Amino acid sequence: MSERRPSPASKSTANGRNGRGTRRSVWRRALSQEHDDTAELPAGSASGGESAEPLSIVEAALYSDGVRVSAPATLAETYRELRDTSSGMAWIGLARPTSDELLSLASEFDLHPLAVEDAMEAHQRPKLERYGDTLFVVLRAARYLDAPEEVDFAELHVFVGPDFVITVRHGAAPDLSAVRRRMEDSPDLLKLGPEAVLYAILDAVVDGYAPVVEGVQNDIDEIETEVFRGDPSVSRRIYELSREMVEFQRATRPLVGMLHGLMAGFTKYETDEELQRYLRDVADHVTHISERVDGFRQALTEILTVNATLVTQQQNAEMRALAEAGFEQNEEIKKISSWAAILFAPTLVGTIYGMNFREMPELHWGFGYPFAIGLMGIVCASLYVIFKRRDWL
């Protein structure tokens, strides 16, 4: 968790409340003089030109004692109003911000360069890093898409400081506007400061996993039915869902350690007791979700093994049926070939004696006809006996 919010007086001394613009961070020293001259302009605008704020700023608001006091339209206005507020908190929501916007935020709130670099590049693993009095949290939100029956993952970066919360969203989930409305409807919770906002964001991300778990459970039930039905396309579906579960594990498993790390710092950072209870509840939910995801992956592995076994059995049965069909076909061919040979013998004898050559001695022999008939019968009988003994007939 971030440091406990100091009193207005101490915060004014520590952060230079009335002279905050003079603070110089690593980023501000690294920026050019031109950037310093335009720091008060909306991010992405020229020094003397357009003043339109980029669309990546979803919403920015200032809160005091759990109540919204203003909703600045630009980053520059947010900076100015926060400097003028003796005890307040800024909550800035960004969606796929530009590098200029992140550099502006880094300069104003003294964000660590490594954290800003991670927020620029995205594609980070879930983690929690502490840089002085600022927490940098990376979360992987998820949502279940009913039509394609797949899980969509999005990345969320959160900077939590003594008097500010900055969310950088890379993707559609989670719905941070709902989180903001929930917190604004609970001023007693919101007045606990940035730590309470971090809790609400963590809770929203974890709650978003529940529909995903239910959707995946339904998918696994359908896959089991398809496996035993012998659907040939089920292997592809198992593989795709297994890959999604790997991503789901990468999103949920680190959260368990992150929340236990936050709980370990409750005493050191004097976290409010009520907030401690809320965070423990989130940790319990994350542990439950993580265990279910592990169970899904194990179940998919077992289903894939069963499917492979069933496919092998089906292939063996088909090969056996083909072998049996081939054997029966061979037997029929043997019979046909045997009878063809037997019938060919008398045809051969008859053909020879049907040539009517003058010099054929058997043509004028008195026993020529019986001899030919007997020869045909002997050849046919001999062939029949031979084929019978070889089980061709």
| pLDDT surpasses 90 at 347 | no
Q: How confident is the model at residue 45 (pLDDT cuts 50, 70, 90)?
A: very low
pLDDT interval class at 198 (50, 70, 90): very high
The residue assigned the tokens 């006091």 is 69
Residues 6+ apart with CB under 8 A from 200: 179, 182, 183, 189
Rounded CA-CA distance 12/85 in Å is 10
Which residues lie across from 60 on neighbouring strands? 92
| Nearest-10 Cα torsion for 95, 101, 103, 108 | -100
Alpha carbons 208 and 126: distance in angstroms, whole number: 16
Q: How many helices (H) and strands (E) does the chain have?
A: 12, 7
At 201 the pLDDT is 93
* Phi, psi angles (nearest 5°) of residue 114: -65, -40
Percent of the chain whose predicted confidence (pLDDT) is above 90: 18
Nearest-angstrom CA–CA distance, 324 and 71: 80
Window from 7-16, 214-223, 288-297, 324-333 with minimum mean pLDDT: 7-16
Q: Where does residue 98 rank: exposed (0-12), middle (13-18), buried (19+ CB within 10 A)?
A: middle
The residue behind tokens 């959707």 is 215
CA distance 68 to 85: 12
pLDDT at residue 292 in the model: 92
Give me the pLDDT at residue 56, please. Answer: 66
Question: Residue ranges of the alpha helices (H) in 185-233?
Answer: 187-190, 194-229
Contact 307, 238 (CB under 8 A): yes
Give pLDDT, residue 200.
Answer: 92
pLDDT in tens, 164-196: 999 998 877 678 888 999 999 999 888 888 999
Q: Are 272 and 197 in contact (CB under 8 A)?
A: no
Look at 45-54, 122-131, 238-247 and tell me which has the smallest mean pLDDT: 45-54
70, 81 contact by CB (below 8 A): yes
Q: Please give the Cα distance from 196 to 56 (Å, whole number).
A: 24
> What is the average per-residue pLDDT within 88-116?
89
User: Does residue 266 contact residue 1 with C-beta atoms inside 8 Å?
Assistant: yes
Provide the pLDDT confidence category of residue 14 given band limits of 50, 70 and 90.
very low
Claim: this prediction has a pTM higher than 0.85: no
